[in-house]
Structure 1
Amino acid sequence: MQAIELEPIGLIHSGYKEKFGIPRQPGLVHSVRSTLELLPPYGSREAVSGLEMASHIWLLFLFSECVGKGWKPRVRPPRLGGNQRLGVFATRSPFRPNPIGLSPVRLDAIRFDGDRVLLDISGADLLDQTPVLDIKPYLPYSDRIDDATFALAEQIELLDLPVIFAPAAERRCDDYGHRLGEPLRRQIEELLRCDPRPAYQKQQHDREYGIRLHDLNIRWRIDAERIEVLSITPAED
């Protein structure tokens, strides 16, 4: 069969600057908003005419950091602690024969800035500069499947723990949130309750971690009783 060549129709602009810390699935963190910028010749008013009627859209995208890195027929899903192998098609691993992802996101607004067409979205799980291959409206009557099941992932796994900010981190959070115009505290709380830690480290309560959000480095740790934000500092590129 002849090879198929695809061209991105747009790029994601997101506060997620590195892979670690991004929610493992879409729809888990709603406070972090992203923007999809459509590229020429696809960024036209005509191409998005009528899309404003959709509250949610599907994004078909490329796992660009995985291109050329190969794939294996069996992988170790993080949700299973890295100890159990499943067929790649039974997982959402980005290392696939064709490294393509699919995410439903909320469409908050469509903006026109000169010749640029910008789609503001929330609930995305996409790295900054992710290439988007296609957009489709989410159709509730057909896309929602109420009796759908998957035995290994029946429910969302979120930490039911308080998020405590160290005094200096709390001051920085307020200052940086105001500068960025972002609900930074809520974003950090939602992200950390998703527990970005590798599954095999979740019982190691003395470990300290860092995630990159916007242009900030967030240092934190988790124990059995709480999630503690230790520091918030400018990220070093």
Structure 2
Amino acid sequence: MTTNLFEPAPPLIAATSDGRGFPVRRVFCIGRNYAAHAREMGKDPEREAPFFFTKWAETVVPGGTTIAYPPETANFHYEAELVVAVGKAGRNIAAGDALDLVYGYATGLDMTRRDLQFEARDKGRPWDTGKNVEQSSPLGLIHPATEVGHPGSGSIRLTVDGEVKQDADLADLIWSVPEVIAYVSRFYRLEPGDLIYTGTPAGVGAVQEGDTIVVSIAGLSNCVITVGAPARD
């Protein structure tokens, strides 16, 4: 019988509003899915096709967490996002059938080392060092779609220490939730436990140690985090 060299890390279990655990499998993040944000990143939304990047499941942390300011950056940015929690498997899903895969929705953040992202982008390199960062995917409570429906409109807002920084409507998404699910499913078989971060509105910016970030989306629980000191280990 084979023995392991070390104990594997336990699966990350996200919290749901009905008190059940949601084991997180993978994280897919949709890029530049609000026109105003695409423009503030220096891109033309009229000429862009959908695209996405991936992050490790271990980047997900619950709301209420104090996250460490990450190393190798001086420009750590917030990005408020509507998050889709996948509850059923599927590949090559038609947009008209995509919502059948959804378990529920949550508020979330895609925290980004923006300086490293831009450096990689300008050199034509992957974004991993800018995006796939420990504690960079804070997640609020996941609300089942049976409780909140399938939000296609409603406020999405982010504050830093009470000051509004991002303020938009989910209706401003360039690619809707069904379209996003259908697109990702062309490349990967979606599985229960997958999370899809659907993109962020305009207004992204840097945070500092001690800042408190609140993401609110109509009908969902807030996601609140505090930026802590850099990790020492």
Q: Report the TM-score when normalising by structure 1.
A: 0.22
Larger Rg: 1
Larger RCO: 1 or 2 (CA < 8 Å, sep 6+) = 2
Q: Report the TM-score when normalising by structure 2.
A: 0.23
